Structure 1
Amino acid sequence: MLVDAHTHVLPRDYPADAPECFPRMEPVDGDSARELLWGAVRFRARDVFFDAERRVAEQDAQGVDVEVLSPMPPLLRYDLPAAEGLSLARHVNEFTAALSAAAPGRLIGFGMVPMQDPDAAATELKAIRDQGLCGVEITSNVLGASIGEERFRGFFLEAQRLDLPVFVHAMPAATDRLPRSAAGTYVVGLEGATAAASMIVGGTAEACPDLRISFSHAAGGLAMMLPRAQYFWSGTWNEEPPRPDRAIAHVGPAPLEVARRFWYDATVFDRRAVRYLVDLLGADRLLVGSDHPAMPREEPAGATVRSVELTAEQLEDITWRNAFRWLGTQSAR
């Protein structure tokens, strides 16, 4: 069995009376695809983005049993006025819920919320759950602010209370330290690491011990930062027993202990990186992901994970069991 825990959805259409700041989906002549038009964004979306039958057909062809669907990250526009952001979220959530309901057991939908208004975002979580959506997607920063800042803590506490998993998708923040061409590569890696680190050092992870949260692309460079953070906390190398007398910042729980409560989509594009993640964070923390259909899946799906030397139990954890643990649901097997 294989669960792809990182795939995306786009609504086929938007209401005719939608605010001018909403995106549009225009037909493509002679094609079942549609074009997303939104400000400077121009994106040709294949019909698999919004057609349940086509999605399931591609699953069958590519060896995938279940997909977790989350909105395409450009839809998570926190720069919109809060009321319009909420209206957009509700439209996307309604579409995602209907798409998932068209193929129960094969498509598991996540909603979105207007994080520019943390209180409204927290309040909307119950509506997401009541629609039959199984979780919520947010981006790694909110208009440049780290998600671990205290003003967002109420949102995570409410997600924990409602038992809703959270998927954090890396999203570039405005920066002049790297060229714009690096936004989808290096900047995304930095953003994922910063988001996860902010949850640890900001105290939100400690305040929400039962929160089920996953980070796209293994939280970027986090896994390379954690051993240094662990050294500062413990005063020792190689995760040896702590020496508080030698520690530089022995405050709160051990960084690695907290990081091993998160889940990580192992779309890291190299078996050596997967091996490191297994060794450092554990095979029970990793999920298969693909960014499908925004990016092409491996052929066959999950090939890199399967190429790593793992026990049968570790492989089953990564390919499907962990996804259902993160979702908090039972699988069909």
Structure 2
Amino acid sequence: MSRVVDVHAHVLVSAAEALLANEPGLAAERAADARGAGAASAAVNRDQMTRLLPALTDPAARLAAMDDAGVDVQLVSPMPLHHYWAGRDLAVKFSALTNEGVLEHCAAAPDRLVGLGTVPLQHPDLAVEVLDRAVADGLRGVEVSTHVAGRELSDESLAAFWARAEALGAVVFVHPWGCTLGERLATAYLSNIVGQPAETTIALSRIVFSGLLDRHPRLKILAAHGGGYLPGYLGRGDHAWRVRPESRTCAHQPSSYLRRMWFDALVYTPDTLRALVTAVGPDRVLLGTDYPFDMGITDPLDRLTHACLPAKAAEAIRSGNARALLGSLPGTQEVPT
């Protein structure tokens, strides 16, 4: 029986966060996050972090939750607190502590846990060095935000990072933190409900239309939250690519590039999951829970079953696509086919 794989789950590395505790940049970041979320959501988030601390830090709690959810293997990524404001020395120390912490967490159950790290994308030369070290130490890749302190992921300054990620076969998990749409969404948790999928939509659109995937066709980009809104509205981008000369900035129809990325299945409803599979292909979708947060799910297999996909597609989403993305899985001798 193939192993069920969850590719979207988080860990908090307390030592890395403690490093930044007294930094002015952290206080400014938290103030901006609170403004963007609104006072009510900021209060709920603070309470949630206190309650979830054991789930975010204790491997035993994680494994118990995995058992309850029917998950055999989990790809663990840091909480997406990239702190791209940090200067060079601080950024290197933060990344090192984070990556060491993820590795230590996964080492508690090496037959069930594999990890992603972080890199200081605000310092592209250092990001390449940290990526090299992360992969050499056993991480499967890194998590990045949807923008880097105002720079897009497609920015030319990050060219060396993308080239190195492609060469290493490293997974790059694009996961938003907060929202750049401002106070229009600072109510009713709209900064997350609407804003985070919008952030991912913008980031992936910039990647596609920049030609990044033409230059680096073997990149392993994994998008959180089903890729945001992009898979559900492909026709508009394709139409613009055909009729607007300034939109013809990639070699092929924009929709075709989604079949070069991977997407988690965290889209909540059976209809939306079926639509995602139709848009990007059954070989490009993987289970994701967003453990342990309240916007995540605890029943990924039930939701997959309720989507009523063909058996081959469902099995690929449960396990096979993760092998294609990650290579061999812990506790097995399976390799990609």
TM bucket, shorter chain: 0.7 to 0.9
Point out the structure with the larger strand share.
1
Mapped contact 2:211–2:250 kept (Cα < 8 A): no
How does 1:77-226 map onto structure 2 within 5 Å? Answer: 77-176=83-182, 178-181=184-187, 182-226=190-234
* CA distance in structure 1 between the partners assigned to 2:121 and 2:135 by the alignment: 17
Q: 2:57 aligns with which of 38, 42, 50?
A: 50
Q: Tell me the residue number matched to 2:68.
A: 61
Deviation at 1:61, TM superposition (A): 2.2
Separation of aligned partners in 2, 1:315 and 1:270: 15
Closer, same or farther in 2 for the Cα pair 1:293/1:2, shift >3 Å? same
Deviation per CA, 1:274-318: give whole Å up to 9, x if none.
111111111111011111012375453332222112111100111
Distance 2:311 2:208 in 1: 31
Q: Specify whether residues 248 and 64 from structure 1 end up closer, same or farther in structure 2 by C-alpha distance, changes over 3 A only.
A: closer
Q: Could you tell me how far apart the structure 2 residues matched to 1:255 and 1:151 are?
A: 23
SS at match of 1:158: helix
Per-residue Cα deviation, 1:201-257 (whole angstroms, up to 9, x for no partner): 11111111111111101121111332122223356xxxxxxxx9x998485122122
Q: 1:133 to 1:177 in 2, by over 3 A?
A: same
Range that drifts further, 298-307 or 123-132: 298-307
**Quick check: 1:3–1:67 contact (8 Å CA) kept in 2?**
yes
Map of 1:9 onto structure 2: 11
Q: What's the TM-score once normalised by structure 2's chain length?
A: 0.84
Structure 1 unaligned spans of 5+: 25-37, 236-243
Cα RMSD after superposing both structures: 2.7
Distance, in Å, in 1 between the alignment partners of 2:24 and 2:61 is 26
Contact 1:93 1:111 in 2 (8 A): yes
- Displacement, 1:119? 1.4
* Cα distance change on mapping 1:123 and 1:274 into 2, 3 Å: same
| Bigger relative contact order (CA 8 A; separation at least 6) | 2
Distance 1:225 1:154 in 2: 31
> Any idea what the Cα deviations from partners look like across 1:25-52, whole Å, max 9, x if unmatched?
xxxxxxxxxxxxx955842133121122
CA distance in 2, matches of 1:62, 1:330: 18
Identity %: 30
Alignment: residue pair count: 310
The 8 Å contact of residues 213 and 326 in structure 1, kept in 2 or not, is answered as no
Structure 1 residue 172: deviation in Å? Answer: 3.1
Q: What is the TM-score with the length of structure 1 in the denominator?
A: 0.85
One-letter identity of the residue aligned with 2:6 = D
The aligned residue for residue 270 of structure 2 is 271
Q: 1:253-332 residue pairs with structure 2 within 5 A?
A: 253-295=252-294, 298-330=297-329, 332=332
Partner SS state of residue 184, structure 2:
coil
The runs of 5 or more residues in structure 2 that have no matched partner are 35-45
* Cα distance in 2 for residues equivalent to 1:200 and 1:251: 7
Residue by residue, what CA displacement relative to the aligned partner does 1:76-130 show, whole Å, maximum 9, x if unpaired? 1111223212211110110110111121121111000111111111121111012
In 2, Cα distance between equivalents of 1:47 and 1:176: 32
Which amino acid counterpart does residue 166 of structure 2 have in structure 1?
Q
Aligned with 1:260: secondary structure? helix
Tell me the SS of whatever aligns to 1:292: coil
Deviation at 1:137, TM superposition (A): 0.4
Quick check: 1:234–1:250 contact (8 Å CA) kept in 2?
A: no
Distance 2:262 2:236 in 1: 20
User: CA 1:145/1:23 → structure 2, altered by over 3 Å: closer, same or farther?
Assistant: closer
Structure 1 residues 309 and 139 mapped into 2: Cα distance closer, same or farther (>3 Å)? Answer: same
Amino acid at match of 1:4: D
Larger CA deviation: 125-134 vs 289-298? 289-298
Which one is further off, 56-65 or 15-24?
Answer: 15-24
Larger displacement relative to structure 2 (276-285 or 223-232): 223-232
